[in-house]
Structure 1
Amino acid sequence: MATTAPVKEAEMEKRAAKGGERERTTIPPYMKAISGSLGGIMEACCLQPIDVIKTRLQLDRSGAYKGIVHCGGTVVRTEGVRALWKGLTPFATHLTLKYTLRMGSNALLQSPFKDPTTGHISNRGRLAAGFGAGVIEALLIVTPFEVVKIRLQQQKGLSPELLKYKGPIHCARTIIREEGIRGLWAGASPTVMRNGTNQAVMFTAKNTFDVVLWKKHEGDGKVLQPWQSMISGFLAGFAGPVCTGPFDVVKTRLMAQGNSGGDLKYKGMVHAIRTIFVEEGLTALWKGLLPRLMRIPPGQAIMWAVADQVTGLYERRYLHKAHV
């Protein structure tokens, strides 16, 4: 009996030590935020032309563009190559801030769903945290930046004197002067629905693909190769655009229309969906889907390749090293 007590105490200490190790395997939210910001910068620089083409296709009600290639070629031929990078400044800034907020808030929102002993989080918890992160980024970052970006992208030509908006700051000031501060949050409802659903699916899918394909669990000290992160991110980026296509089209239409005077064609999210369906047919609610699929999955691949390397470096230096 006397010898069993020290053994039990040793086992309890061993379990406590393991519990402490599990605590240390959690990557802090600020590291997730940093990794997201760096990934966002890289994604913006690579994929801005696809975003310009997507916006032009979604705003095209007359059939001027016959498809992605025709749209891109028309823009280059009539406006120059630089036109494919229209709106890059707000796009890059918005992506950087968006991913910083998305990754950081998702990490914070996951905390209540984690098992206090193992640190494990269920897929339901990942979905809830991802949706919450999407709502936060939509309201604080995405909506006002995308309003400015879309207003700049819908302008045709490169001569400043012929353009209503001379740049992102001038565009924002003009919108506020003509439409009020609420003008920067045009299309907020469909943006919230789009981003919330996208992030719920994306975070859950990315974790699932990491585990299934590469046996990678967060905090285990294993760092994925960039090509592995790109595959997981690419696959995770497919589901969202298909599910949220109507929200994205409606968001673009609501953001593009000014409300400085006269009657608005679209009165809100539901009215816009009904109007587009009646006037243009069901498939119009998925306009721009192909360029979205050309942009979002590759964008997620680029972003996660960078983000996983940043968090992986942290794991190796501060988490896994501490357990050795």
Structure 2
Amino acid sequence: MAEENSRSKKTIPPYMKAISGSLGGIVEASCLQPIDVIKTRLQLDRAGAYKGIAHCGSTIVNNEGVRALWKGLTPFATHLTLKYALRMGSNAVFQTAFKDSETGKLSPQGRLMAGFGAGVLEALVIVTPFEVVKIRLQQQRGLSPELLRYKGPVHCARMIVREEGVLGLWAGASPTVMRNGTNQAAMFTAKNAFDTILWKKHEGDGKVLHPWQSMISGFLAGTAGPICTGPFDVVKTRLMAQSKSVGELKYRGMFHAIATIHAEEGLRALWKGLIPRLMRIPPGQAIMWAVADQITGFYERTYLTNAPL
């Protein structure tokens, strides 16, 4: 029993979690950027210009070229790398704080709280400003630099700060906090549950999942969040896309945006872009966890299970 308790207290340090998450984020961003561009265009489409995912993608390619599907890749990739590093590292810190001091075990409630805390932190520090820049770039149509308001991510950020103030980079922060906090609480809890149920994998046991096993667990864990948080994601996108420099703001905040969208476009509009979100987030989680689990699994096997107790 003493040996079991001692081993259960040995965990992967937060910096290793951060490294594994950042590397997974780079791979994910490179693979899935086109789906994110399509999702953003669908969420911003109030006039019904796009008839669906395939029509939106083909319209972008026909009118703007294939490269347009990778608009905003630089801030998206940077944002994912930093976001996953902060998410994985802070979640590890929060989990340590919520563990029982005697047994070293983490309760389901503690796991949920740790995930929610990590989601709130990433939303405020990383996600909101990067997504504001990304969405402003993605909503621009065309590829000719002279026709574009924003010439790139740095120019876009500078324009927002100059015209709207520093807080302009945190437009839509409230729904982003709600979306990310809820998403990460569900995701970390579900990933741990699927690892245990499907593969009998427990953190710190030294067992390294095969990449396909990690992908299945990550994919399943990534499905619930988009369905539950669809309205927050749509509102976040609308709030981030509007600029104070081009006239009066249509939406005055999260609750006003929800009410306005519901009144003008119907209840289903609050889940616009859900299918491309489901096409991007679960596969993204599958890719990220496949990379992250290999790194943390190697660390567990090398430094935890072989270390003297």
State the TM-score, normalizing by the size of structure 2. 0.98
SS at match of 1:115: coil
Letter of the structure 2 residue corresponding to residue 230 of structure 1: M
CA distance in 1, matches of 2:4, 2:229: 42
CA distance in 2, matches of 1:230, 1:166: 36
Kindly state the Cα deviation for residue 111 of structure 1 after the two structures are TM-superposed: 1.4
Kindly state the Cα deviation for residue 261 of structure 1 after the two structures are TM-superposed: 5.2
Letter of the structure 2 residue corresponding to residue 20 of structure 1: S
Q: Does 1:75 align with 2:60?
A: yes
Letter of the structure 1 residue corresponding to residue 138 of structure 2: Q
Kindly state the Cα deviation for residue 18 of structure 1 after the two structures are TM-superposed: 4.6
Larger Rg belongs to: 1
CA distance in 2, matches of 1:21, 1:183: 48
| Aligned residue among 83, 105, 108 for 1:123 | 108
Number of the residue aligned with 1:271 = 256
What aligned pairs does 1:180-191 form with structure 2 within 5 A after superposition?
Answer: 180-191=165-176
Number of the residue aligned with 2:84 = 99
Number of the residue aligned with 1:216 = 201
Q: Does 1:21 align with 2:7?
A: yes
Conservation of the 8 A alpha-carbon contact between 1:21 and 1:323? no
CA gap of 1:274–1:137, structure 2 versus 1, over 3 A, is same
Q: How big is the alpha-carbon RMSD for the aligned residues of Structure 1 and Structure 2?
A: 1.1
CA distance in 2, matches of 1:185, 1:254: 10
| Aligned residue among 129, 143, 161 for 1:144 | 129
CA distance in 2, matches of 1:215, 1:257: 47
Number of the residue aligned with 1:4 = none
Deviations 1:271-302 (A, max 9, x none): 00000000000000000000000000000000
CA distance in 1, matches of 2:308, 2:213: 25
Letter of the structure 2 residue corresponding to residue 21 of structure 1: R
Kindly state the Cα deviation for residue 259 of structure 1 after the two structures are TM-superposed: 1.0
CA distance in 1, matches of 2:189, 2:5: 25
SS at match of 2:306: helix
Kindly state the Cα deviation for residue 255 of structure 1 after the two structures are TM-superposed: 0.2
State the TM-score, normalizing by the size of structure 1. 0.93
Task: In structure 1, list runs of 5 or more residues that go unmatched.
Answer: 1-13
Conservation of the 8 A alpha-carbon contact between 2:9 and 2:105? no
Percent identity, please. 79
What aligned pairs does 1:1-324 form with structure 2 within 5 A after superposition?
Answer: 15=2, 17-24=3-10, 26-260=11-245, 262-323=247-308
CA distance in 2, matches of 1:265, 1:125: 39
CA distance in 2, matches of 1:177, 1:81: 32
Q: Which moved more, 1:115-124 or 1:254-263?
A: 115-124
CA distance in 1, matches of 2:31, 2:273: 19
SS at match of 1:156: coil
CA distance in 2, matches of 1:178, 1:275: 25
Kindly state the Cα deviation for residue 23 of structure 1 after the two structures are TM-superposed: 2.6
Letter of the structure 2 residue corresponding to residue 253 of structure 1: R
Conservation of the 8 A alpha-carbon contact between 1:245 and 1:285? yes
Letter of the structure 2 residue corresponding to residue 123 of structure 1: P
CA distance in 2, matches of 1:210, 1:121: 15
CA distance in 2, matches of 1:205, 1:21: 23
Letter of the structure 2 residue corresponding to residue 85 of structure 1: W
